[in-house]
Amino acid sequence: MTKSGFDVIKADAMANIGTNFKDLDELKSDSLAVEKLPWWIKQKEFWDFTTEMDWSAQKPFEYSIRNFNQHLSPKQAKQYNSRYTQVMEWRKTSKVPGFTHRDYAMKCGADTITLLSDLAGIDKNGESALYWTGSPKLMDVTPTPEEMGCPKYEATPEENLLMIRTFLKVCGASKVGAVPVDVKFKSTQPKFYADKIPLVYENVDKPYITRSKYVIPDRMKWAIVFSTEGGNDLTGRGNNWVGALGASLYSGGPSDYIQIQVQRFLKALGYSSVVSGICYNLQNWPAMGVASGMGELGRMQISVSPFLKWDRAIRCIITDLPVSFTLPIDAGITRFCIDCGRCASVCPVSAINSSRESSWDIWPKDPKNPNLRPELFNNPGKKTWYFGHHLCGAFGRDANDSKCGICMLNCVFNRGTDTILYPFIKPVGANKSALANFLKDMKENFSCTGFESSIPLGEEDQYTLAGESLVENFWNQDSS
C-alpha cells in the first residue's frame, strides 16, 4: 500500500522535530494537548480582562529599544555611569557573592541568548537573521509540502490548536494559547518592530522585510502564544550575575529556540509565520499572556500566572495556520493585588506603583527631570498600576549588569507549590481579596520566598545590591 500525501507530510513534519510520536494524529490526541482549568478559575469573553480597558485609547505603542537611560536627569546619569563602572571593576577582584569572577564566568558561559545570533547567521542586510520569518540557514533545510510532492496539511481550527499545543509542549513550552489578530490585537502591538522601523499589515501572500518596514500579510489572522518555565529558580538568587541567568537561561533562550522549531514545523505543514525577538517584539508580552488566558495583569505589570513560576518568558507567533482561540481568565489575581502590594514594598528602586487602587493615569512626569517621558514606557488605555520602567531598567537592572527579579520572587503567586500554604493561597486568596494582607504575611512567615524584607534605600544608596544572602551557598549545592 502506498502512502498518501497527507501521510508523507505528517511523517516528515514529525521527523523535523525528532519526537516519539508516529504522526500528527497521535500528536493531537496526546494528553499534553488538553488543558483543564482548576475549579476556582473562570473563563471570560475574548478581550474581556479583569483589568478594565478603554480600547478607544489603545494604539500601537511607540516602543523604543532599551530607552531607559534617556529618561535620566544629568545627576542620575552620572550616578548610573559611576555605578556601572564600579560593577565592571568588580569583575576583576570582587568577593561579593553573586559578583565574583566565578559568577561572571557562569554568566558568560551559560547564557544561551548570546549564542542564538551566531546560530542563525546574518541576513543580506548584515543583521541577525534569527527572527521574523526565520534564519535561511535554519529554515532552508526544512522542506515545504510542494517540495515533498504533497498538499499542505489541513484540519479544523480546534484540531490545529491541539496539535500546536502538544508540539510546543514537546519542545519545552509550559502553557499554550491563541488569540485573533484583529483590531484589538493590533492596538496592543508596538508601532515599531525594530528600532524605528514600522510594523505594518498589507494585502500580500508572504511576510517580508525592507529597510523601511516589516510587513505582515493580512491573511495571517492567528497568533499562537506560549510560555516557557525555568526549573532552577535562578531569578530567586537576587540581583546579580547568577540571578541574571533566570530569564536568559531558562526562559528567554529556550523560548527563542522553540520559535525556530515552530517555524520549521509550520513550514513543513505548508504555513507561514513571523516571530518575536529578544528586543524586537511582535507584541506586548504581558498583554498576550492576559489575552490568551495564561494569567492576569498584576501590580508588577506582568502577566501573573496562577499556573507557573516566575522563571519564564512569553512569546507570540503570528501565522496563517487556522487555530481556535483560548479565552482570558479570572483567577482573582488582579483583585488580590489591590490589598497585597508586597512587590512594591520590596522593589529596591520604587519602580512599582504602591498605591492601593489602580488608576487610568500613567506614571507621573517629574518637574525636576524634564528628560523623563513616561509616554515612552507607559501605554494608556487600561486601569492599572503603571510601572516606572525607567527606574527598573536603568537602576534595578543595567546598573548592576544583571537582572533584578525581587518583585517576582516575592509575589504570592510564585513558587512554593511544595508547601502546605501554597494550595490555600491560590484558590482562596485570589478570590477573597480581604485575605490578601493575611496571606501576604503568611507567605513571608512560612518562607515561601528566599527574600525576607524590603530594602531601605537612601538617596545616595539607591544601588544597594539585593539578595546577596540568596547566592552565597549557590556553589556549594549537593546535586547528587
CA dist., res. 298 & res. 130, Å (int): 31
CA dist., res. 420 & res. 424, Å (int): 8
Residue, of 113 and 8, whose pLDDT is higher: 113
Examine the pLDDT at 131 and tell me if it is beyond 90.
no
Q: What integer pLDDT is reported at residue 420 of this predicted model?
A: 40
**429 touches 201 (CB < 8 A):** no
The cell 504555513 sits on which residue?
271
Mean pLDDT of 404-427: 62
pLDDT in tens, 237-246: 767 778 777 7
Mean pLDDT of 409-420: 61
pLDDT in tens, 184-226: 999 998 888 766 788 899 999 999 888 888 899 999 999 999 9
Q: What integer pLDDT is reported at residue 233 of this predicted model?
A: 67
Mean pLDDT of 4-10: 51
Residue, of 64 and 302, whose pLDDT is higher: 302
The cell 482549568 sits on which residue?
37
Tell me, what DSSP letter sits at residue 190?
B
Q: Which of 271, 238, 277 is closest to 405 using CA atoms?
A: 238
CA distances from 416 to 104, 233, 429 (A): 28, 11, 15
Q: What integer pLDDT is reported at residue 346 of this predicted model?
A: 85
Examine the pLDDT at 462 and tell me if it is beyond 80.
no
Mean pLDDT of 419-425: 49
Of the chain, the end-to-end C-alpha distance in Å amounts to 52
Going by pLDDT thresholds of 50, 70 and 90, the confidence category of residue 299 is very high
pTM as predicted: 0.82
Going by pLDDT thresholds of 50, 70 and 90, the confidence category of residue 250 is low
**189 touches 283 (CB < 8 A):** yes
Q: What integer pLDDT is reported at residue 225 of this predicted model?
A: 95
Q: What integer pLDDT is reported at residue 479 of this predicted model?
A: 56
Examine the pLDDT at 424 and tell me if it is beyond 60.
no
DSSP of 86-113? HHHHHHHH--STTSSHHHHHHHHHH-SH
**390 touches 72 (CB < 8 A):** yes
Which of 105-114, 204-213, 222-231, 354-363 has the weakest average pLDDT? Answer: 105-114
Here the cell at position 412 is 504570592
What one-letter code names the amino acid at 121? G
Tell me the pLDDT of the chain averaged across its residues: 77
pLDDT in tens, 379-391: 899 999 999 988 8
Under 8 Å CB-to-CB from 17, ≥6 apart: which residues? Answer: 167, 170, 171, 261, 264, 265
In the chain, % of residues over pLDDT 90:
31
pLDDT in tens, 61-71: 876 656 677 78
Q: Which of the residue ranges 250-264, 269-283, 321-335, 409-423 has the most confident prediction, judged by mean pLDDT?
A: 321-335
Examine the pLDDT at 86 and tell me if it is beyond 80.
no
Count CB neighbours of 143 within 10 A: 16
